[in-house]
Each structure stands twice: as structure tokens, then as C-alpha cells.
Amino acid sequence: MSNKFDIDLKFGQIYEEKIRKIFAGKIEVKAERDIWKRTGNIAIEVRCYGKPSGLSVTEADWWIHLLTYKGKIEIGFMFKVPRLKQMIKNKFKKDKVCMMYGGDDNQSELVLIPIKEITEDII
């Protein structure tokens, strides 16, 4: 009879190694301030001052989007960059995301994604 702890430990170690590989590769980390808590959305920059930026130009393999509240990380999402781009395209087709301007002088074009839309894809 095998010990369940041994199975759980081995499973955990497999994913620890996967995370090590992710952080050894190219990652982009964005931290979003408190406003997400009120709006229920995350904002991902795709253009700034009329030029592609943010998600549009990242060379990262992984996009990590942290949601902070009062200076502390509440939760975070990790996406493979191609999967995040595809998710946004699919949600545009279904009118589940929208665009807005924000940032410095309202020059950043942002995709607003309802948090429930992110979790809907994975749950």
C-alpha cells in the first residue's frame, strides 16, 4: 500500500519544477492597483501614444498579472502569452471585453477584461 503523502509530495515537486522553469524563462509582471476591486476588471495595455505596447509587443513567454489592494498582493493570474492573446480575441468576438484609454494623459489603450471572464475560462 502506498502512502498518499508520498504521492502528494511527488505531485507537488513536479509543479515546483514547472514553476522554476517558468521563472527561469521570460516573464512579464504587471501589478494593478486597487481600482480592479471596484470595477471587477483587469486592464491590459496594448497600445500607447498610438504605437503597439504592453501585451502587443511583449517578448515574454508568460504574463503574470497581479491584483494589489492597499499595497498588498491579493491574487494573481499567470497566462502563457499566446493563450492570453487568443482569449482576448475570442472574448472580443463575444463582446465580453472592451477597450478604453487610461494611464498617463489617457494615452494608453487598454483592454478591460472582467475578472469573472478569466475565471470562467478556467473553471
- Kindly report, residue by residue over 51-93, the tens digit of the pLDDT: 999 999 999 999 999 999 999 999 999 999 999 999 999 999 9
- Residue 8's contacts (CB-CB under 8 Å, 6 or more residues apart) are none
**Do the Cβ atoms of 32 and 67 come closer than 8 Å?**
yes
**Rounded CA separation 50/28 (Å):** 21
**Joined grid coordinates for residue 35:** 481600482
Q: Which residues of 99-118 are buried (b: 16+ CB within 10 A; e: fewer)?
A: eeeeeeeeebbbbbbbbebb
Prediction pTM value: 0.85
Which residue type occupies 33?
R
The answer to whether residue 8 scores a pLDDT higher than 90 is: no
